[in-house]
Amino acid sequence: MASIARKNLFEDIPRFLVAQAGIMFAVSLVTIQLGILKGFSRSTAIVIDYARADLWVASKEMVAFELTSPLPADYINKSMAVTGVDRAEILLVRAGRWRGPDGKLSPARVFGFNPDGELFAGWTLSDGTLKAIKQPYTAIVASGVQKSLGLDENRTGSIGGLPVTIVGTAEDVQSNASSPFLFSSLETANAYGDAEINSSINCIRQASGDLDCANSFKSRPLGQKNGELAPPKPLSLSDPISYVLIRAKPGQDLGQLKQRLLTALPETQILTQAEIAAVTRNYWEVRTGVGFILGLGATVGFIVGMVVVGQILYASVTDHLREFGTLKAMGASNGVIYRIIIEQSLWMAILGYIPSMGICLTLGQWTQMTRGIMILIEPSTAAAVLLLTVVMCMGSAIFAVQKVTRLDPAIVFKA
């Protein structure tokens, strides 16, 4: 049978295109909001996802990956002493003030880890090698943040007065919720974390009795000695660390290992990789309200789409009222007429969905490449948006269906 729904839809191409633009706007809005929410959520714990640890030893006060209290470095040795632990590695999470080559300041997050280690850096480098950060005052930068850091072709900057030379770029590791990520050796990261700027006030009492004071600011890089830049000092057992990453021996029961680690390491919590990632994501999505805001955006997109499609369908049904009346007069059941309207709404849904998804995927790639912002559109997200679009379009057909239901077929005899 010739599809009346499809033919009605394509009867007036300009009107159809305007209608599809409305649907595409709604679908894109929902997809981008969901994509940003998922991308944001994924990115907040993406560094954790790349790690290969079975368990993470964290402070009992830890709220999220980047919001935790320090642990004694000695816990690395204590961890290794626990039965069932195959390997343990330190992870430092430090905050720093980055000064780019243009002199502009920006916050930075510095992660310190053992470049010869096996448990932390599972990400891919688009340039450079992990071993390169063994050189003092070098770091790997997360892709997409070069612009934020003001990096030029020399790829240098400083943190707290200490120089930073970028020696590599890590792909797809940046959190959308955080300052730009830098990855260094434990020693370098520790030095950047401790680097600070001192201020001192020197006052001289004048003859008049007034005080003449001068406030001096001086950066105090810890590694500087007699004007020469000394290499960062090795991590000592008294230094604070952020996490201990644990790899269990093969065949170990992780539940039991957790208990043994808890006993050996007081004031800690032991989490699996999935658990610490979930805690972090939950923090950002729920406690910061970001999830609510992005979810609200997606809901608004859904409602806008429903209103747009509803108006279009209602107008279309009104335009073709005589035709629906003719069908009813001929003896078509309400079911036949509902099917036409619903088929029309489904055509609108599909034809609005496909180009919208293409636009969103392209936009997602562009934001990832240029801004480091992830709009994550996984197959499950795409399927969910398709389902939402269909529900949105079919739901909006209700008003049109009601209009046709109330239609008096005797309308057909009115000229």
The residues that touch other proteins, with contacts defined as CB under 8 A, are 1-2, 4, 7-8, 10-11, 322-323, 325-333, 336, 408-410, 412-415
What span, in angstroms and rounded, lies between the C-alpha atoms of 364 and 362? 5
Reading the block at residue 172, the tokens are 């797809």
Which residue is listed with tokens 């109330």? 406
Say how many Å lie between the first and final Cα of the chain, rounded.
28
Q: Least Å distance between CB 21 and other proteins?
A: 21
Nearer to other proteins, 2 or 201 (CB): 2
Reading the block at residue 2, the tokens are 């010739």
Which residue is listed with tokens 């790829």? 155
Nearer to other proteins, 113 or 347 (CB): 347
Nearer to other proteins, 188 or 344 (CB): 344
Reading the block at residue 256, the tokens are 């039991």
Q: Least Å distance between CB 314 and other proteins?
A: 18
Evaluate whether 150 touches 106 at the Cβ level (below 8 Å): yes
Question: What angle separates helix 379-405 from helix 321-330, to the nearest 10 degrees?
Answer: 70
From the list 247, 261, 403, 218, the residue with the least C-alpha distance to 319 is: 403
**Per-residue DSSP letter, 131:** G
DSSP string, 330-347: HT--HHHHHHHHHHHHHH
Nearer to other proteins, 4 or 290 (CB): 4
Q: Least Å distance between CB 339 and other proteins?
A: 12
Nearer to other proteins, 4 or 235 (CB): 4
Q: Least Å distance between CB 393 and other proteins?
A: 20
Q: Least Å distance between CB 317 and other proteins?
A: 14
Nearer to other proteins, 4 or 375 (CB): 4
What span, in angstroms and rounded, lies between the C-alpha atoms of 143 and 302? 33
Spatial CB neighbours of 282, under 8 Å, sequence gap ≥ 6: none
Nearer to other proteins, 1 or 213 (CB): 1
Q: Least Å distance between CB 323 and other proteins?
A: 5
Q: Least Å distance between CB 402 and other proteins?
A: 16
